[in-house]
Amino acid sequence: MGDLSELRPTLYVGFAVASIGGPLALLTIFPGVAGDGIESAALVVVLALALFAAPVAIWLAFSRTVVTSGGLTAFVDAAVGRRPALVHGWIWIFAYFLYLPYTITAVVYDTLTPVFPGIEPYRGALELLLPVAIVLLALGPVRPLLAGLGVLAALQLVLLVVMSVVELRHVGRVPVAAASAHDTGRAAAATALLFICASLPLYLGAEVRGGSRVVRRGLVLALGLTGAAFFLAAFPLAAVPDELLDSAVPGAAIAQAYSGRGLAVVVGLVTALSILSLIVAEYLALGRLIHWLHGFRLRPVLMWIAVPFVLGDAISLIDPDRFYNDLLKPSLGALFVSQLIVFAVFPLYRRGFAALGLAAVSAALAVWGLYQLIAGTAST
């Protein structure tokens, strides 16, 4: 009930894939993040994955010897000690405490409603029911929950491949690098940040059968599968008309235009489920981090988290748009700061020029995320 005695590698990989985006949601977010760089979508995705390899390399290096439910905070502890780790942990916790309720608002108003306009009279009820459902899932048996997340993750990867086939049948020739170098570079850096939640599986690392080896290989496998599927679905977007890319849910709009209502419904629904599965992953990670930081039993911690989560979405009913906008920047800002701390302390944990290089590239990505946030161009 909320605890794991031992986690099979397959469940861990499924959880890791679900944590990256979720994968199908990336297709919806990517056009807005890439901006004018979408004209070089293939190159943008390749560069983004290459840039994101630096943070992943840091996480993998830490995970050789640090595999606990403390996740990133345990990395900071290993590098510079307990007190800085406590600061880092509560910055990370703050980020995701805000992220949970406002993402529910985004799912209801920005993902489900454009695809299923008939739900508009029921949006308030959904904003209350969805967080309650997620809390009940998190408090239930964990293995079936992770198995369900894994099945949903596999479905998302399949749908990304299906979307690639559908897109290529309609767009014809796809340009490789039509955008300027400036637009391509900006788009690549912004796109790399879309994968930042890939660190969530690290918070389940202590419970994985096989320990450090499986944690590291599982994370690489999940990123490889997701990156490949996302590339297949994303690179044809360079030839997709702007009116589809600018829609509220581009994946569903493209499916509607190129295949029909049936595929649009599936893509829209699974996109919403992919975001909700990411919320579940964050909920589980939050519980494990608080448990690791302060020694509280896991199940009561998961119950405590439910209070601000459900209450936040109840408050959001007053003004959903303002609620989302007010919480977005502090949440993302805290998330980027928490990652920046991990990258900054890495050279104190692993000496050498290679460590400095990885830290510099990773820190630059986090700083870029903060800059986008201040400039008002960041996306979830």
Per-residue pLDDT of the chain (380 residues), as tens digits, is 345 457 899 999 999 999 998 899 999 999 999 999 999 999 999 999 999 999 999 999 999 999 999 999 999 999 999 999 999 999 999 999 999 999 999 999 999 999 999 999 999 999 999 999 999 999 999 999 999 999 999 999 999 999 999 999 998 778 777 788 999 999 999 999 999 999 999 999 889 988 899 999 999 999 999 999 999 999 999 999 999 999 999 999 999 999 999 999 999 999 999 999 999 999 999 999 999 999 999 999 999 999 999 999 999 999 999 999 999 999 999 999 999 999 999 999 999 999 999 999 999 999 999 998 988 755 55
Neighbours of 215 (CB within 10 A): 26
pTM of the model as a whole: 0.94
H helix or E strand, kind and range, residue 106? helix 82-106
Q: Name the one residue in this structure whose structure tokens are 């850096």.
A: 189
**Tell me, what DSSP letter sits at residue 112?**
I
Q: Which residues contact 82 (CB under 8 A, 6 or more apart)?
A: none
Q: Name the one residue in this structure whose structure tokens are 């389940």.
A: 204
Q: Name the one residue in this structure whose structure tokens are 């760089």.
A: 37
Please check whether residue 40 is in contact with residue 246, taking contact to mean a CB–CB distance below 8 angstroms.
no
CA distance 362 to 218: 21
Closest CA to 257 of 175, 170, 173: 170
pLDDT for residue 175: 74
Q: What's the distance, CA 180 to chain centroid?
A: 28
Compute, in degrees rounded to 10, the torsion defined by CA atoms 349, 351, 352, 356.
30
Q: Name the one residue in this structure whose structure tokens are 């039993």.
A: 297
pLDDT for residue 2: 44
CA distance 39 to 190: 15
Q: Is the peptide bond before 185 cis (omega within 30 degrees of 0)?
A: no
pLDDT for residue 133: 97
Domain 9-375 class in CATH: mainly alpha
Structure tokens given for 80: 């510079």
Where do the domains of the chain lie? 9-375
CA 209, 210, 215, 219 dihedral sign is: negative
Helix, strand, or coil here: 350? coil
pLDDT for residue 302: 95
- Cα maximum dimension of the chain: 59
pLDDT for residue 374: 86
Please check whether residue 310 is in contact with residue 131, taking contact to mean a CB–CB distance below 8 angstroms.
yes
Please check whether residue 20 is in contact with residue 49, taking contact to mean a CB–CB distance below 8 angstroms.
no
Question: What is the distance in angstroms between the CA of the first residue and the CA of the last residue of the chain?
Answer: 31
**Tell me, what DSSP letter sits at residue 195?**
G
CA distance 131 to 310: 6
